Chains A and B, each alone.
Chain A
Amino acid sequence: MGQIDTALIKKTLDEKLNARVKTGLDICARCALCADTCHFYRASGNDPQQVPSYKIRWLRELIKRKGKVDEDFLKEMYETVYGQCTMCRRCSLFCPFGIDIASIIGFSRTLLAQQGIMPEGLAKAVENYLASGNQMAITDEDWIETVKWMEEELQEELPGASIPIDKQGADLLYTVNAREPKFYPMDIQLAAKIFYLAGEDWTVSSKPGWDDTNLAMFAGHVQAATHVVDLTRQRALELGVKRVAITECGHAFRSLKFEAPVWLGGPLPFEVVHSVDLFAGYIRSGRIKIREQCFTEPVTYQDPCNVSRNGGLAEQGRYLMKKLCADFRDMMPDHNGNYNYCCCGGGGFIPMAGPFRERRLTGGKVKADQIKATGAKFVVTPCHNCYDQIRDLSEKYELGVKVVQFKEIINDCLIIPDELKAEE
């Protein structure tokens, strides 16, 4: 950490402090109704330092001091705003004034990011986004090669299938999490299979904009975050698509559907849909045929914060669960759907790594207890961060659960017309 540019802090406060954040700080009654809504608070055994309204004290102080703070202040602020909040917004559901604590934390992160203060893992991701347009610094060549490889594999099963690249005028542009080409290429193949069987008119893009993750959003780096969504926007406009689809990822959906209009200043010229919404639509309309409830293991559903509470897809997720699973056990009543707890892997925690790893595993105890209480052996979650986090929680808390995404279960349940299959 070098010199603090206090003038920049003041300037940003003067120019960017919005009504929502300012009013929230002003009218907080300090009633502490937000306390036990937060997984960090509960997982810590009710440590008062974890009360959401306490965690926003830094911004209040910054405003009071008009940005005149020192390194130590920012160091402590960093520990709170990156290390004690996943910006899941659960507290805002309960606050009588609906104060958007996540936005206050987000703005706090922005002020730190401006000073070059960010967790290393996120700083690296921001660097990669700015240089290559994707989180993992994958070259366009490697991306296309992976896509083509997955297409080949898919065609061994379904000769008529394909993964269109840069198809002009397609209806849907499909974007992925950069982890997929790097570590989970099967995800791309599974999505392509579903799109093929659904008769979807889709494409991927060969150029930057194909990665929808946008960790820069959680770094608080507004400039990089805007750049990432702008790349996708440009690709969508060039290809003339009507919709952009998001892989089974939470923050990617939040980024493109709900935050991009804020950063870019207005609505996007295309619709943004999440995989959960797409898949539910295909099954509802019969575009893809499945063996209903073919997944018979006891299974629960993890509502990713950015797909359910901040995505509005809690109902769709449950529709899919009921259609695909014979033994679906929802998490505790009043604590599922929009009110489900954050798994503690979000807000950038997974890529933050380092000292943040232990914190997210501790904070995730609430989620671990929820899963244990259902007695499920499997957890379905349409989010890459929840996926990683729950896998780690299962290990730490000996839950003995396996995590799956919808694509995997749908794939197991698919009824494929014989004429589409490859010759034996």
Chain B
Amino acid sequence: MEAISGFVEGPLLWAAWIVFIGGSIIRLISFFRRAKQRDKIVFQNFRWKYVLLTWLRFLLPFNQTVAKNPVFSILGYVFHLCLIVVPLFIVAHIMYWEESVWGWSWYSLALPDSWTPVLTWIVIGIGAVFFIRRLVRPEVRILSKPGDYLLVIVTILPFLTGFLASHTSFLSDYMRTIHILCGELMLVLIPLTKLSHYMLFFPSRMVIGVEWGRRGYVA
């Protein structure tokens, strides 16, 4: 077991981060290389005003999509907020970064311990809502491939296993390792799947922002 956990927390973790960061960089560069050659119209009409405003409009809930689907949209925003905040700011994780080769520490920004399970279960709960919505709503189901269902599970798992590892004694000998494996799985899948939207949101909205912008409006 120690050999396994040593591997999971050592070389495998390095590999997962490299795939995540390297893969993300490759995808971003690919986008711009292809766009520079085949989407010249975007660069010929580029203005930061169009792009920054459209990014803000959709990063914040100030757009017509939220107006059209307020419940689903707000769930989406809360889900993503917690998804990002929990891994970055819980004490347990900050501790690991401090102890790592990088030695970074940001305890001053740590979440109060009492918040952690709440935010964690928000991610799991909303994730479950997304899963059910995908199964139950015909307009979503028709679009869905097995991968769409699996990715919801892949996203929920680090949170569920994290909770189990820190707040229960379920499979306590293994749960930490399982949790880290789930996290690694997600890291690796991010650049390889639609989860890459975390980063490709920006160039994608940049394009449509320039399209509306060259018509004289921000949407």
Interface size, B (range): 35 or more
- The reply to whether B40 and A265 contact each other, CB–CB distance below 8 Å, is yes
Output the nearest chain B residue to A309 by Cβ-Cβ distance. B215
Is B205's CB within 8 Å of the partner chain A? yes
- B58 proximity list for chain A (CB < 8 A): 96, 98
Interface residue A258 (Cβ < 8 Å from any Cβ of B): yes
In B34-74, which residues have CB < 8 Å from any A CB? 34-35, 38-42, 44, 54, 58, 64-65, 67-69, 72
Q: Determine the distance from Cα of A23 to Cα of B143 in the docked complex, in whole angstroms.
A: 17
User: Does B82 have its Cβ within 8 Å of any Cβ on chain A?
Assistant: no
What 6 pairs between A and B have smallest CB-CB spacing?
Answer: A98-B208, A312-B215, A19-B35, A18-B38, A312-B216, A48-B142
> Contacts A29-B194, A54-B143, A100-B207 given: A93-B219 contact, CB under 8 Å?
yes
* Residues A27 and B200 in contact, CB atoms below 8 Å apart: yes
Task: Please tell me if B115 contacts chain A, counting CB pairs below 8 Å.
Answer: no
Residues of chain A with a CB closer than 8 A to B183's CB: none
Q: Is the CB of B197 within 8 A of A27?
A: yes
Contacting B217 at CB < 8 Å: which of A18, A95, A338? A338
6 A-B contact pairs sorted by A residue (CB < 8 Å): A19-B38, A27-B196, A29-B197, A51-B142, A54-B143, A312-B217
Q: Please measure, in the bound complex, the distance between the C-alpha atom of A267 and the C-alpha atom of B46, giving whole angstroms.
A: 13
B138 at the binding interface (Cβ < 8 Å) = yes
Interface bin, chain A:
35 or more
Contacts of A97 in B (CB 8 A): 197, 200-201, 204-205
Residues A48 and B141 in contact in the complex (CB < 8 Å), given A20-B39, A266-B44, A334-B67:
yes
Chain B interfacial positions (CB closer than 8 Å to A): 31-32, 34-35, 38-42, 44, 54, 58, 64-65, 67-69, 72, 76, 134, 137-145, 148, 194, 196-197, 200-201, 203-205, 207-209, 211-212, 214-217, 219
Task: Tell me the smallest distance from the CB of A338 to a CB of chain B, in Å.
Answer: 6
Q: How far is the CA of A265 from the CA of B44 in the complex (A)?
A: 10
Q: Which residues of B lie under 8 Å from residue A301 when comparing CB positions? A: none
* Complex CA–CA separation, A94 to B64 (angstroms): 7
Contacts of A26 in B (CB 8 A): 194, 196, 200
Nearest-neighbour CB distance to chain B for A310, whole angstroms, equals 7
From the candidates B34, B41, B138, name the one contacting A22 in the complex (CB within 8 A): B34
The answer to whether A30 has its CB under 8 Å from any CB of chain B is yes
Q: Which of A89-103 contact B (CB under 8 A)?
A: 92-100
Residues of B within 8 A of A51 (CB): 139, 142-143
A308–chain B nearest beta-carbon distance, Å: 9
Query: In the complex, what distance in Å separates the CA atom of A41 from the CA atom of B44?
Result: 34
Interface centre among B40, B44, B204, B211 (most CB of A within 10 A): B204
Asked if A121 lies at the interface with its beta carbon under 8 angstroms from chain B, I say: no
A169 within 8 A of B: no
> Once the chains bind, are A31 and B140 in contact (CB under 8 Å)?
yes
Which chain B positions have C-beta within 8 A of A310?
215
A223 at the interface (CB under 8 A from B): no
Please state if A35 and B139 are interface contacts (CB–CB under 8 Å).
yes
Q: Could you list 7 further interchain pairs (A-B, Cβ under 8 angstroms) beyond the known A19-B39, A23-B204?
A: A18-B39, A30-B144, A30-B148, A31-B140, A35-B139, A41-B139, A262-B41
Is there contact, CB below 8 Å, between B72 and A19? no
Alpha-carbon gap, A287 to B41, bound state (A):
35
Contact residues in B for A17 (Cβ distance below 8 Å): 34, 38
Q: What are the residues of chain A within 8 A of B142 when measuring CB–CB?
A: 48-49, 51, 54
**How far is the CB of B69 from the nearest CB of chain A, in Å?**
6
For residue A24, CB closer than 8 A to chain B, the reply is yes
Residues of B close to A99: CB separation below 8 A = 204, 208
Find the A residue at minimum CB distance from B58: A96
Cβ contacts under 8 Å, A100 to chain B: 207-208, 211
Q: Could you tell me if A261 and B41 are in contact, using CB atoms closer than 8 angstroms?
A: yes
For B38, B145, B207, B211, the residue with the greatest tally of chain A CB atoms inside 10 Å of its CB is B207
Of residues 61 through 95 on chain A, the ones whose CB sits less than 8 Å from some CB of chain B are 92-95
In the complex, the answer to whether A36 meets B68 with C-beta atoms within 8 Å is yes
A16 close to B64 (CB less than 8 A): no
In whole angstroms, what is the CA distance A396 to B41 when docked?
41
Determine the residue in chain B with the shortest Cβ distance to A28: B194
- Chain A's closest residue to B67 (CB) is A334
Contact residue among B44, B140, B194, B219 (Cβ-Cβ distance under 8 Å from A32):
B140
With CB as the reference atom, state the residue of chain B lying closest to A267. Answer: B44
Shortest distance in angstroms between A277's beta carbon and chain B's nearest beta carbon? Answer: 11
Measured between beta carbons, the chain A residues less than 8 angstroms from B200 are: 23, 26-27, 97
List B contacts of A312 (CB < 8 A): 214-217
Q: In the assembly, what is the distance between CA of A124 and CA of B132, in Å?
A: 49
A339 near B64: Cβ-Cβ < 8 Å: yes
B2 vs chain A, min Cβ distance (A): 40
Q: Which of A36, A37, A261, A339 contacts B44 (CB 8 A)?
A: A261
- For residue B132, give the distance in angstroms from its CB to the closest CB of chain A: 14
Cross-chain contact of B31 among A23, A92, A338 (Cβ < 8 A) = A23
Tell me, rounded to whole Å, the shortest Cβ–Cβ distance linking B75 to chain A. 11
Residue of A nearest to B197 (CB): A27
A30 to B146, CA, bound (A): 12
Q: Is A53 interfacial (CB 8 A cutoff)?
A: yes
Which of A16, A18, A27, A334 contacts B194, CB < 8 Å?
Answer: A27
